[in-house]
Structure 1
Amino acid sequence: MPEINPTSTSIKKILPLILATAIFMQMLDSTILNTSLPSIAKDLQESPLNMQNAIISYVLTLAVFMPASGFLADRFGTKKIFIISLIFFSAGSLFCALSQNLTQLVISRVVQGVGGSLMTPVGKLALIKTFDKNELLKAMNFAVVPALIGPVLGPLVGGYMVDYFSWHWIFLINIPIGIIGIILGLKYMPNYKSDSVDFDLKGFLIFAAASLLLSISLELFADIQNITPVLLVFILGFLFLYYYYRHAKRGKNPIFPLSLFQVRTFRVGIIGNLATRLGISSIPLLLPLMIQIAYKQSAVTSGWMVAPMAITAMFGKSYVIKILNKYGYRKTLMVNTLVIGTLICCLAIPDIHTSLYWFIPIITVLGFFNSIQFTSMNTISIADLRNFQTSSGNSLLSVNQQLAIGFGIAFGLIILKVFENSSFINNEVHNAFRYTFLTVGILTIFSAFIFRRLHISDGKNLKSQE
């Protein structure tokens, strides 16, 4: 096959669609699973609140293997790794559909995670290397617009499949999408490589151990009766992070160079991503769970309730460039995060006798502001990275995002279980959900102040034509 010219007009048109296909698969998969957990739990004879292992095992696999994505892309080429990742993800989806118990489902989700750990970051890396900085915001924004169809279809398709067919089809739907991604990748994906690549195996293992220990500790925090061993695992995770810091300080070519954190926009973007997603990430799981468990509604109903968030997120993508060009990254991110936190707190207002329609305006507006938030955080993080920092910086940003999602899901479920076991809610599960939304919303509000560290002029090099 002839070598692809990454600067050609056709590649610049198709490449965002290729990245959108990868993100689409991940988002469709995760949102389908959220509304289908109670049905899967019933079939596998598990409690719905214990099914988070099926979600978090996938997220942890992403976090563990994503650090290697930059190296593998540089060593073997973005095209090869992207196609291999799609094959892994599609195969994992098939294994999920064939699972007979929770253990098999978790293992199959790990296979999916191996593919997903390379799929999106390698696609993003190809996009970053292809487009100039002043084209990147528009390209990245365009890449995410088609992918937002995933969350729209996910809850609805998942709900209907569970209610009228079987939950197995929520995984089988990934296979034709994966085939489309492979065909597009073979024809249009540029094959960027680096001649001098040295993999930091020791650093990779240390960082992977730290990510796993911290994530496992968050999982185990829900078991309040055994708090001592959980704290030990949590502390051990931070010790591994410190060990990695010492290793990166001495190493010649660490997998994540410490010089990345000397770039202020990258540093603020990483911290802001982690803190903000810690609050936001639990909502797509908690809301469908509340509608099904507390309100006793079907998976289809919970799917329709979540769908407006994704529809308005697509609508928000058409405004994000105008907003950033007018107000800048600093003001946009601070105000936007405050609005998101307030909206999450509003989910705690309705009691069990309030109509479900009360939630629709909140979810609708929340989707719009989430769209602005994610595009802004993703682009400002890579705004000032130099060419030699792109691979490692993009990998670390992807790891950080997935860890934040995993932490957010675990954090939301931990808070929910704490309130469920509290005496003042009078054994009313709906009140436990209300206090959880309030706690998560307040946390998100506080995370807005992280973006004060940005300068007014930050992100001007990303400014593009509307």
Structure 2
Amino acid sequence: MQRPVVLDPRTARILPWLVAIAFFMQTLDGTILNTALPSMARDLAEDPLRMQAVVISYLLTVALLIPASGWLADRYGTRRIFFGAILLFTLGSLLCSISTSLNQLVISRVVQGMGGALMLPVGRLAVLRAYPRHEFVNKMTLMTLPGLIGPLLGPLMGGWLVEYASWHWIFLINLPVGILGCVAALHFMPVIKGPRQAFDTLGFILFGAAMVLITFALEGLGDLNMPHARVMLLLFAGLACLAAYWLRAGHIEQPLFSPSLFHMRSFAVGILGNLFARLGSGALPFLVPLLLQVALGYSPAQAGLAMVPLAIGAMIIKPLAKPLIDRFGYRWTLTGNTLLLGGLLASLSLIDNHTSTLQLAIHLFLIGTVNSLQFTAMNTVTLIGLPDDQASSGNSLLSVVVQLSMSLGVASAAALLSGFMLPDADQEAILRAFHLTFLCVGSLAVLATALFLQLDNTDTAGTAPHEDKLAED
């Protein structure tokens, strides 16, 4: 293992806060946008139910570039890549704010995603290499605390800014934070380079092409202008690229992600469980603000306030996650929690104009607690048994799958919503389409139950060698 870098006392104090700024920017951006989608659609003369490309373009870009983050940091140094990441994210935010069409906005979100893909992984890598291992947990806790505030402030700020200013300000508020982050990165991010290693460029292209093509195929189902023949062509092309990557990875010395990772049952179950469970929960931040504003007539500020219980529930359950997993083990915690999560997502089909504000708040609070416990347990069990020499690769693949599954979740939800939506639908028909979509989304989440039943009954949190740093989402 590489020795910790010697930092001067001031840099040692500030570095975790610098990475925390990046984490805060990411989590705030991930939640502030969804409440604004209907207003953005009106301003850009688009259907609010077809705005998923704004969300998917960012998530997919992040998923594509995460595998390259460690290699770039090792080759060019953490300071240069971290500074560039914040600069790209800030530039993307500026471009988003001045976009005048959906296509311009999607391209700007790709630029933003290029920065977002590198900020947190490179920052986390710098902290890992700059401090002794016994200090790492405390530094990680310090880094993640501001990030927990983002999901709480995001919906509130997004709704308020859209209602009392304009949607452009949800991107403009990133500019002062980004400028501060750039200046701080130049002064306090240490220059850390790792050993030069070969990068699996062809594997990166094949894996990335598979993600893009499969996501585009699902998004095409939500777009009535895309023929089904083209959707099927994209889907099979994506699967072919994935198969080609998998066959190649088993025969080269340093693949992007080695198939041997899946020889560990807990890792295989965790990765596949993440993929299917997040197909349902990943669509939630996209669907709920649309349901509230498009189908139920909430204002942006009201919709943003209604989303706050989700974040509160997620924060409250965090300290209880480990005791629950210790008590019941991963197998039964994830099996029971996945069934509960699917049921709660499906029960959103009961929300209508007669649902009180208190009922909605309790419902979303419960989803927030169950969702947070699900993420913590899934993330930890995925890497619980990996040896140290595979922990970095496994963690990188997990990060990719998390982003990819959220992207596929939004694409799938948009496709379902479009399929259930009748031409010239009235408010009642629109609400029915949302109800049917939530029933399907809940069913997608339940599918992961069969996977988690494959876990060993003896798996417990207490056996996790990397548990201290893997439980965060």
Structure 1 pair 271–193 and aligned structure 2 pair: CA distance change class (3 A): farther
Question: Which residue is 2:345 aligned to?
Answer: 344
Shift of 1:139: 6.4
Structure 1 pair 38–186 and aligned structure 2 pair: CA distance change class (3 A): same
Question: Which residue is 1:100 aligned to?
Answer: 100
What amino acid is aligned across from residue 110 of structure 1 in structure 2?
V
**SS where residue 347 of structure 1 aligns?**
helix
- Structure 1's unaligned 5+ residue stretches are none
Question: Which residue is 1:63 aligned to?
Answer: 63
Q: How does 1:20-419 map to 2 (within 5 A)?
A: 20-126=20-126, 143-182=143-182, 185=185, 189=189, 192-223=192-223, 226-419=227-420
C-alpha distance in structure 2 between counterparts of 1:161 and 1:64, whole Å: 31
C-alpha distance in structure 2 between counterparts of 1:151 and 1:391, whole Å: 27
Shift of 1:135: 8.2
**SS where residue 428 of structure 1 aligns?**
helix
Shift of 1:129: 5.7
Name whichever of 331-340 and 177-186 sits farther off. Answer: 177-186
Provide Cα deviations, 1:99-139, integer angstroms capped at 9, x if missing partner: 12222111111110111111223234445667899987776
Aligned length, in residue pairs = 463
Contact between 1:137 and 1:462, CA under 8 Å: does it hold in 2?
no
Structure 1 pair 243–220 and aligned structure 2 pair: CA distance change class (3 A): same
Task: Report the aligned-residue RMSD.
Answer: 3.0
Shift of 1:255: 1.5
Shift of 1:441: 1.2
Contact between 1:133 and 1:383, CA under 8 Å: does it hold in 2?
no
C-alpha distance in structure 1 between counterparts of 2:140 and 2:325, whole Å: 14
Normalized against structure 1, the TM-score is what? 0.90
Contact between 1:89 and 1:116, CA under 8 Å: does it hold in 2?
yes
What amino acid is aligned across from residue 211 of structure 1 in structure 2?
M
Structure 1 pair 14–431 and aligned structure 2 pair: CA distance change class (3 A): farther
C-alpha distance in structure 2 between counterparts of 1:383 and 1:10, whole Å: 35
What amino acid is aligned across from residue 234 of structure 1 in structure 2?
L
Shift of 1:90: 1.0
C-alpha distance in structure 1 between counterparts of 2:10 and 2:369, whole Å: 30
What amino acid is aligned across from residue 457 of structure 1 in structure 2?
D
Structure 1 pair 198–107 and aligned structure 2 pair: CA distance change class (3 A): same
Contact between 1:145 and 1:317, CA under 8 Å: does it hold in 2?
no
Structure 1 pair 183–426 and aligned structure 2 pair: CA distance change class (3 A): closer
Question: Which residue is 1:457 aligned to?
Answer: 459
- Structure 2's unaligned 5+ residue stretches are none
Structure 1 pair 393–101 and aligned structure 2 pair: CA distance change class (3 A): same
C-alpha distance in structure 2 between counterparts of 1:263 and 1:137, whole Å: 25
Contact between 2:341 and 2:367, CA under 8 Å: does it hold in 1?
yes
Structure 1 pair 375–394 and aligned structure 2 pair: CA distance change class (3 A): same
C-alpha distance in structure 2 between counterparts of 1:99 and 1:93, whole Å: 10
C-alpha distance in structure 2 between counterparts of 1:448 and 1:187, whole Å: 48
Contact between 2:380 and 2:467, CA under 8 Å: does it hold in 1?
no
